[in-house]
């Protein structure tokens, strides 16, 4: 925690090339425990892995700002400043991918590589935005995130062979505050299409999808990869939405290949 903004909680391991990992909704940075343990020892060069808690999740305060993923991206820029990091490889899974794209839009000069996992660069449809508002209003009115359990959020994020992880994911979901869940849902609903941002980047890009992802279809990853013909596309078989937890070896291998591309210039 030393040298980082007091408002941002972050888990960190290793030294060397900075790699920031941004967690999914409505989880926290503990989802990256396997990467924090393994990635510093997997790459040819040393790597410094930083996994921050996004606003309202884990140990990071929500604050009083109106919902916007741009603010979360700016939080990351401030974290890099405080950590003495000029440029970083940024990886995000699901909501973390939305934040990574917002960071690429607002702070492209701070980015040395981009990893987008189980996410999309397109904006929400009207139906998805309406459902996000339904959830935000319900958890606020009830002052409880029980709705997420009622709708089997934990189980739906995992593939059929990863249900042994349900309790771990459910614990993270239950730890989220209603205010953070509502804020994040509204922030995600307001995000713009980012395909133009992705197309305009001048850094190595890696896109990862899961064959059994029930929340983000692999076609979204294929669309992002077509936007960036130089992007590496990985489709992980047999797992669901939380690829980094369900198949850490495959996720880590994709991250390692990206880091090697960044190092090669």
Arithmetic mean of pLDDT, 27-36:
97
Is residue 65, in this structure, part of any structural domain at all?
Answer: yes
Nearest C-alpha neighbor of 98 from the set 185, 6, 5, 222: 185
Is residue 50, in this structure, part of any structural domain at all?
Answer: yes
User: Residue 251's pLDDT band (boundaries 50, 70, 90)?
Assistant: very high
The CATH number of whichever domain residue 34 belongs to comes to 3.40.50.1820
The predicted pLDDT at position 2 comes to 36
Is residue 103, in this structure, part of any structural domain at all?
Answer: yes
Beta-carbon contacts of residue 187 (< 8 Å; ≥ 6 apart): 67, 68, 69, 71, 72
The C-alpha atoms of residue 110 and residue 177 are separated, in whole angstroms, by 31
Q: What is the pLDDT of residues 200-229, one digit of tens each?
A: 999 999 999 999 999 999 999 999 999 998
Q: What is the pLDDT of residues 61-93, one digit of tens each?
A: 999 999 999 999 999 999 999 999 999 999 999
Domain that holds residue 89: 10-126+192-264
Arithmetic mean of pLDDT, 17-43:
92
Arithmetic mean of pLDDT, 143-159:
90
Is residue 19, in this structure, part of any structural domain at all?
Answer: yes
Total-model pTM? 0.95
Is residue 231, in this structure, part of any structural domain at all?
Answer: yes
Is residue 21, in this structure, part of any structural domain at all?
Answer: yes
């Amino acid at each position: 925690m030393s040298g980082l903004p007091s408002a941002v909680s972050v888990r960190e391991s290793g030294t060397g090339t900075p790699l920031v990992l941004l967690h999914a909704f409505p989880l926290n940075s503990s989802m990256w425990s396997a990467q924090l343990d393994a990635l510093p020892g997997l790459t040819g060069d040393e790597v410094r892995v930083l996994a921050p808690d996004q606003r309202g999740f884990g140990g990071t305060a929500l604050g009083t700002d109106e919902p916007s993923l741009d603010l979360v991206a700016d939080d990351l820029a401030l974290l890099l400043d405080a950590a003495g990091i000029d440029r970083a490889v940024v990886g995000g899974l699901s909501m973390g991918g939305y934040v990574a794209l917002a960071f690429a839009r607002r702070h492209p000069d701070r980015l040395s590589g981009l990893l987008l996992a189980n996410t999309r660069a397109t904006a929400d449809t009207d139906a998805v935005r309406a459902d996000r508002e339904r959830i935000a209003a319900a958890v606020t009115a009830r002052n409880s995130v029980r709705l997420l359990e009622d709708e089997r959020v934990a189980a739906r994020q995992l593939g059929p062979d990863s249900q042994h992880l349900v309790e771990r994911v459910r614990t993270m979901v239950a730890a989220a505050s209603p205010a953070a869940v509502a804020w994040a849902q509204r922030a995600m609903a307001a995000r713009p299409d980012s395909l133009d941002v992705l197309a305009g980047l001048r850094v190595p890009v890696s896109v990862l999808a899961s064959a059994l992802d029930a929340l983000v279809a692999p076609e979204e990853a294929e669309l992002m990869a077509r936007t960036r013909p130089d992007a590496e596309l990985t489709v992980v078989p047999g797992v669901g939405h939380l690829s980094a937890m369900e198949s850490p070896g495959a996720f880590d291998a994709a991250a390692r290949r990206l880091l090697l591309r960044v190092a090669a210039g």
